[in-house]
């Protein structure tokens, strides 16, 4: 059974600092997703990572995937308050269509 | 293109009642998935429909069911509601792109069972 672990679960950081959120998963997969959720809102798609070594960047966020280590990272560069949200990684269960298994989420608070 | 829409947005029901939630995917998307989000269990997969057929099912009791219509709209039904069914129910529609299959989530239906 696929399990997805995120850490840390809570991250409080100062504006301008860098930090990384980690996502480990237990079995082989062909897709990994990062989502953002603001309080009371739905999930916003950030990145889709498909292959080993994939790296995608959008603004201050950069996601990477190491399929051999079954590890993805979401790196935050020079954090700003607007990045405060909950970030989820989700891994597709192979041969099960679009079934995703989500991590517990990382609550990010960026302090001004 | 309009996004994924879900109705109703909020719902209050009593234990033992049943409820039906609706999801309209993005035009042209044929896959619709449903997820339950609770503070204790997080985001959990309920089921996926593709071209009117259930393709995958999560580990939920038979009280949770769904269907998909020929226009790709989907409904999920929960019968004999329990307090623990209080949650945000999210629907997602999927499209395969050159950059991989992307799942777009709707705004959700917040169900409160009293």
pLDDT digits (tens, 9 = 90+) for A37-61: 999 899 999 999 988 888 999 999 9
Cα distances (Å, whole numbers) of residue B11 to A78, B4, B90: 40, 18, 14
How far is residue A96's CA from residue A92's CA, in Å, rounded to a whole number?
8
How far is residue B37's CA from residue B91's CA, in Å, rounded to a whole number?
11
Query: What is the nearest CA distance from B33 to chain A, expressed in angstroms?
Result: 7
Query: For position B1, what pLDDT does the model report?
Result: 66
Query: For position B92, what pLDDT does the model report?
Result: 96
Tell whether B74 is within 8 A of chain A (Cβ): no
Prior bond to A30 cis, omega within 30?
no
Query: What is the nearest CA distance from B106 to chain A, expressed in angstroms?
Result: 6
Mutate to test the interface with A, among B98, B103, B110 (most CBs of A within 10 A): B103
Query: What is the nearest CA distance from A78 to chain B, expressed in angstroms?
Result: 27
User: Which residues 30-69 in chain A show a CB within 8 A of chain B?
Assistant: 31, 33, 35, 41-45, 48-50
How far is residue A91's CA from residue A34's CA, in Å, rounded to a whole number?
9
Does the pLDDT value for residue A75 go beyond 90?
yes
Tell whether A10 is within 8 A of chain B (Cβ): no
How far is residue A23's CA from residue A49's CA, in Å, rounded to a whole number?
12
Within 10 angstroms of residue A41's Cβ, the number of other Cβ atoms is 14
Tell whether A107 is within 8 A of chain B (Cβ): no
C-beta atoms of A100 and B107 within 8 A: no
Which segments in chain B show pLDDT lower than 70? 1
- What number of CA atoms fall less than 13 Å from residue B6's CA on the CB side? 26
A37 CB burial (10 A radius; 0-12, 13-18, 19+): buried
Closest to B94 measured CA to CA, from B53, B43, B49: B49
Res. A78 pLDDT band, cuts 50 70 90: very high
C-beta atoms of A35 and B105 within 8 A: yes
Phi-psi domain of B98 (left: phi exceeds 0; alpha: psi -120 through 50; beta: other): alpha
Tell whether B60 is within 8 A of chain A (Cβ): no
């Amino acid at each position: 059974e696929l399990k997805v672990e995120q850490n840390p679960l809570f991250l409080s950081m100062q504006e301008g600092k860098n930090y990384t959120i980690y996502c480990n998963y237990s079995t082989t997969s062909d897709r990994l997703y990062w989502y953002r959720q603001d309080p009371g809102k739905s999930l916003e798609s950030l990145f889709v990572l498909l292959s080993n070594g994939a790296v995608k960047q959008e603004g201050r966020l950069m996601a990477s995937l190491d399929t051999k280590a079954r590890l993805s990272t979401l790196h935050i560069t020079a954090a700003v308050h607007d990045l405060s949200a909950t970030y989820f990684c989700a891994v597709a269960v192979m041969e099960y269509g679009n079934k995703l298994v989500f991590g517990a989420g990382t609550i990010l608070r960026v302090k001004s | 293109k309009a996004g994924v829409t879900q109705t109703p947005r909020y719902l209050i029901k009593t234990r033992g009642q049943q409820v039906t939630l609706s999801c309209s995917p993005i035009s042209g998307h044929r896959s619709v998935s449903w997820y339950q989000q609770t503070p204790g269990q997080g985001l959990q997969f309920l089921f996926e429909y593709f071209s009117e057929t259930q393709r995958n099912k999560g580990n939920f009791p038979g009280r949770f069911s769904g269907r998909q219509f020929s226009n790709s709209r989907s409904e999920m039904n929960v019968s004999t509601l329990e307090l623990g069914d209080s949650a945000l129910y999210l629907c997602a529609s999927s499209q395969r792109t050159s950059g991989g299959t992307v799942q777009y989530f709707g705004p959700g239906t917040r169900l409160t069972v009293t």
